[in-house]
């Protein structure tokens, strides 16, 4: 990516099943095919391993992780964005053993934050963010993931969570491999502040970053994890 690209360093990905449905998926932003032949199989194997370990966790362990992550996220948001009034915060609906942050979503809503969830309205198009409230009558979206109803307000996030399958200390994220959010962030202006959230045990020595793998703004785990601000010059809402 060019250094003068105003969105440089801002891409990341939320939960997406496209990589599951098409295991030979190639990122639409473009990579070196030879590199992908080496890195792609390794990433698929690591995704399977890390997701299996995550789904094997007990209910109590998952609750503990979710509660700890919610505390760390509240602290980070308050530190960076103050009272958070009218902040648009994109979260996610937990799937496949991901940390459950729905209580945090409700708490932020109560503080005046506008909470949103991403969804696919058109295949191969940028994601749409619909506003969520605790009273929302959820409907089934793509891959059967609950999403706010069609009449919900469409918003643009200032902050977006990116669930992690794996992560490294350079700030790179191993996601599901679908590439939907990468495409989305290329269209968003200004780009949101992106926070990766996941398990401490999902740390990798490296994800072998490719051209489309851009560092997140911050990464949090249940232990606090590695908090990074590699884009301090980015505009805040």
Residue 217: inside a domain = yes
Model's pTM, two decimal places? Answer: 0.81
> Domains in the chain: how many in total?
1
What does the alpha-carbon distance between residue 84 and residue 78 come to, in Å, rounded to a whole number?
Answer: 7
- What is the spatial distance between Cα 119 and Cα 131, in angstroms, rounded to a whole number? 11
pLDDT tens for 159-217 read 999 889 999 999 998 988 777 777 777 788 888 999 999 999 999 999 998 877 778 89
| β-pairing verdict for 88-90 and 114-119 | parallel
What average pLDDT does the segment 20-49 reach?
66
Neighbours of 235 (CB within 10 A): 11
CATH label of the domain that carries residue 104 = 3.40.50.10420
104: pLDDT strictly greater than 60 = yes
- The pLDDT assigned to 32 comes to 57
Q: Judge whether 174 lies within some domain.
A: yes
CA distance 203 to 185: 24
> Quick one: CA torsion of 8, 101, 222, 84, rounded to 10 degrees?
60
CB-based contact 129:164 (threshold 8 Å):
no
Residue 140 lies in a domain: yes
Mean pLDDT of 106-113: 96
For the stretch 111-163, pLDDT in tens is 999 999 999 888 878 889 999 999 999 999 887 899 999 999 999 999 999 88
- Structural domain includes residue 7: no
Residue 226 inside a domain? The answer is no
Which pLDDT tens digit goes with each residue over 62-80? 999 999 999 999 999 999 9
Query: Could you list the residue range(s) of the whole structural domain that residue 169 is in?
Result: 18-221
Asked if 207 and 213 touch (Cβ cutoff 8 Å), the reply is: yes
Instruction: Determine the pLDDT at residue 26.
Output: 41
pLDDT for 236: 43
In a domain, 134, yes or no: yes
Model pLDDT, residue 139: 95
Q: How many angstroms separate the CA atoms of 224 and 230, rounded?
A: 17
DSSP labels, the chain = --TT-TTTT-------SHHHH-TT---TT---HHHHHHHHHHHHHHHHHHHHHHHTS-HHHHHHHHHHHHHHHHHHHHHHHTT-TT-EEE-----TT----HHHHHHHHHTT-EEEEEE-SSTTS--EEEEE-TT---EE-GGG-EE--TTSPB---SEEEEE-SEE-TTS-EE--S--HHHHHHHH-SSPPEEEEEE-GGGB-S-----TT----SEEEETT------TTTTSPP-
Q: Would residue 11 count as lying in a domain? A: no
Q: What pLDDT sits at residue 60?
A: 97
Average pLDDT over residues 90-94: 96
In a domain, 230, yes or no: no
Q: In this structure, how many other beta carbons lie within 10 angstroms of the beta carbon of residue 139? A: 12
């Amino acid at each position: 990516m060019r250094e003068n690209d105003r969105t440089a360093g801002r891409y990341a990905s939320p939960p997406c099943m496209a990589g599951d449905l098409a295991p030979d998926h190639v990122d639409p932003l473009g990579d070196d095919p030879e590199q992908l032949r080496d890195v792609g199989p390794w990433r698929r194997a690591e995704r399977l391993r890390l997701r299996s370990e995550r789904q094997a966790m007990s209910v109590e362990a998952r609750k503990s992780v979710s509660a700890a992550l919610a505390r760390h996220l509240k602290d980070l948001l308050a530190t960076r964005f103050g009272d958070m009034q009218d902040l648009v915060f994109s979260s996610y609906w937990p799937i496949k053993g991901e940390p459950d942050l729905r209580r945090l979503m409700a708490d932020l809503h109560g503080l005046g934050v506008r909470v949103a969830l991403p969804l696919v309205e058109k295949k191969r198009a940028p994601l749409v963010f619909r506003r969520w409230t605790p009273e929302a009558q959820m409907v089934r979206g793509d891959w059967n993931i609950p999403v706010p109803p069609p009449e919900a307000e469409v918003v643009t996030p200032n902050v977006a969570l990116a669930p992690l399958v794996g992560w490294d200390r350079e700030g790179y994220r191993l996601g599901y491999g679908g590439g939907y959010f990468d495409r989305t962030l290329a269209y968003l202006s200004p780009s949101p502040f992106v926070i990766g959230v996941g398990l401490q045990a999902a740390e990798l020595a490296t994800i072998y970053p490719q051209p489309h793998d851009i560092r997140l703004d911050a990464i949090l785990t249940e232990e606090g994890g590695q908090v990074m601000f590699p884009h301090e010059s980015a505009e805040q809402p």
